[in-house]
Amino acid sequence: MSSIDSKPPKLDIKYTQIFINNEWHKAVKGKTFPVINPSTGEEICQVEEATRADVDKAVEAARKAFDVESPWRKLEPAARGNLMRKFAQLLRRDIGYLSQLETLNNGKAVEDSKGDIYASADCIEYYAGWTDKIVGETIPGAHDQMIFTRHEPIGVCGQIIPWNYPIMMMAWKLGPALACGNVIILKPAEQTPLSALYCASLIKEAGFPPGVVNVIPGDGPECGNAVAAHEHIDKVAFTGSVEIGKKIQEAAAKSNLKRVSLELGGKSPLIICEDADIDYAVSVAHRAIFTNAAQNCTAGSRTFVHAKIYDEFIAKSVELAKNRVVGDPFDPMTEQGPQINESQFKKILGYVESGKKDGAKLECGGERAGSKGYFIRPTIFSGVKDDMQIAREEIFGPVMSVLKFDSYDDVIKRANGTNFGLGAGVITKDLTRGMTFAQRLQAGSVWVNDYDAVCNQAPFGGFKQSGHGRELGKYGLEAYYEVKTVVVKLV
């Protein structure tokens, strides 16, 4: 374990205000809120707190930027793509500062922050390539008709992003929206606004016209709700919990019936078959749950292991978990930093107590690491049953629940026995079995002999209460354009 009590580096926090119309603003109501370093529990800085009045200002700027005669709307598609590529270049240029800022605010290991930024730049560039390829089609009609479709931007898009992957989730939202020609009001999570605000400065530096991207830090009940319920926002995209996703969809319906896309939670199964290479399966399962301190919507948090290899899997998994390096996220050797804040920290430890109370066996972890900050040791429970709280609810913390099975038909039913359906995985040497699982598991992504293998060109999203709509890939564009049918009578 690296030192948890190390002091974070001194970092100049350059942007703490609201970004509207390519300018920095103080909050209309004059309020600020504290941003906390999860490694220490100490305040980093105060940030301007946007409320409904600030959302109104952002909407006014965005609507002006979306006017049909605006500079943004008159840009050729290729020129729009070039602005996006410039933004991606600036992300890479400033990766040293940005990765430290992300780690200071979010707590993830600094090497993971660097990976997130590179992936975010790649995502923006991927969608930059789509700007001049978003095409309609011609449709057969009567002999004196020409029928064709146009794909047109929706308009003002509200985007509400989570705290677990601040820069990456920003890129997933901005990329397709900008490629389609929309304008954006982005609300970062109140826990992690700093990297989004810095990226706003890069948007301006890249040359985007005023009002195209606006960044409004604030809380969910006031600022987030104002975005979801605003009569002049045309679409809202949200990544976060099922509970908040339902509130956003309700607010959207009660206001102007705006378009909604949701990427919500998960309780994803990873099934380890009896023929799996045990060491490989252990490493995949370890990564599936503990990556990003298990603050991952697709985390493989229900690990189903065949009875024939169950005991060996537990023993090897415990050994690997005990050797996982938890500590100072600025140390390059650290694999796992803190949980995001005190409330999540306490919630996770509450789940640990629930697991013990329900009769699961605590194999390792389950306790605080260090004396400050919100660090939790990697935790493994064996003997977990399907009806236990730790097997049913999304913990969003470093807790692996290992369940035993001996029937493949039965384990598929058990894996599908949840209201979630975001991700699923299976480890097997039998390709027919793997493909059968891929067909029968109810999840937006199924990984065979891997886990959480996400790439920009492949769609990502959930079944059931894990959300609707898709991000990434060609499918990710569909949430950001309207399809217009044009019928021309030839006379």
| pLDDT for the residue 7 | 74
Torsion of CA 241, 247, 249, 251, to 10 degrees: -150
Q: Which residue spans of the chain are classified as CATH 3.40.605.10? A: 18-264+466-486
Residue 2: pLDDT above 80? no
d(CA 231, CA 219): 19
**In the structure, how many helices (H) and strands (E) does the chain have?**
15, 20
Q: Which two tokens stand for residue 269?
A: 């199964």
* Residues in a beta bridge with 23: 20
d(CA 178, CA 180): 5
Q: Which amino acid is at 272?
A: I
Closest CA to 459 of 241, 176, 185: 176
End-to-end C-alpha distance for the chain, whole angstroms: 78
Question: Where residue 5 falls among pLDDT bands split at 50, 70, 90?
Answer: low
Half-sphere exposure of 386 (CA within 13 A, CB side): 13
Sequence-separated (6 or more) residues with CB below 8 Å from residue 343: none
| pLDDT for the residue 406 | 97
3 state DSSP class of 114:
helix
CA distance to 191, 252, 352, per residue, from 365 (Å): 26, 42, 9
d(CA 325, CA 102): 19
d(CA 164, CA 170): 11
Mean per-residue pLDDT, 86-107: 98
Phi, psi for 9 (deg, rounded to 5): -65, 150
Residue 150: pLDDT above 80? yes
Q: Which residue spans of the chain are classified as CATH 3.40.309.10? A: 269-456
Cβ atoms of residues 41 and 373 within 8 Å? yes
* Residues in a beta bridge with 446: 424
Residue 1: pLDDT above 60? no
Phi, psi for 262 (deg, rounded to 5): -135, 130
Closest CA to 83 of 268, 223, 209: 209
- The CATH label, of 3.40.605.10, 3.30.1370.160, 1.20.1560.10, 3.40.50.2000, for the domain at 18-264+466-486 is 3.40.605.10
Phi, psi for 120 (deg, rounded to 5): -70, -45
The mean predicted confidence, pLDDT, of the chain is 97
Q: Which two tokens stand for residue 475?
A: 């499918």
Residue 357: pLDDT above 90? yes
Q: What is the 3-state secondary structure (H, E, C) of 194-248?
A: HHHHHHHHHHHHHCCCCCCEEECCCCHHHHHHHHHHCCCCCEEEEECCHHHHHHH
Q: How many residues does the chain have?
A: 491
Closest CA to 195 of 44, 329, 343: 44
d(CA 95, CA 330): 14
Residue 434: pLDDT above 80? yes
| pLDDT for the residue 8 | 78
d(CA 424, CA 140): 41
pTM here is: 0.96
Radius of gyration in angstroms for the set of CA atoms belonging to the chain, rounded to a whole number: 23
C-alpha torsion sign, points 41, 44, 46, 49: negative
Quick one: 269-456 is in which CATH superfamily? Answer: Aldehyde Dehydrogenase; Chain A, domain 2 (3.40.309.10)
Residue 96: pLDDT above 80? yes
Q: What percent of the chain has pLDDT over 70?
A: 99
Q: Which two tokens stand for residue 123?
A: 């995502």
Q: What percent of the chain has pLDDT over 90?
A: 98
3 state DSSP class of 308:
helix
Catalytic residue among 102, 263, 335, 394: 263
Closest CA to 379 of 358, 357, 348: 348
pLDDT in tens, 372-413: 999 999 999 999 999 999 999 999 999 999 999 999 999 999
Mean per-residue pLDDT, 310-327: 98
Stated as kind and residue range, the H or E segment containing 435 is: helix 431-440
Mean per-residue pLDDT, 337-359: 98
With b for 16 or more beta-carbon neighbours within 10 A and e for fewer, the 89-111 pattern comes to: ebbeebbeebbbbbbbbbbbbbb
Mean per-residue pLDDT, 245-274: 97
Pairing of strands 235-239, 23-25: unpaired
| pLDDT for the residue 9 | 83
> Using the 8-state DSSP alphabet, how is residue 329 labeled?
T
Cβ atoms of residues 459 and 303 within 8 Å? no
List the strands of the sheet with 361-364, edge to edge.
Answer: 361-364, 379-382, 399-405, 302-306, 269-272, 423-427, 445-448
263 labelled catalytic? yes
Phi, psi for 185 (deg, rounded to 5): -120, 110
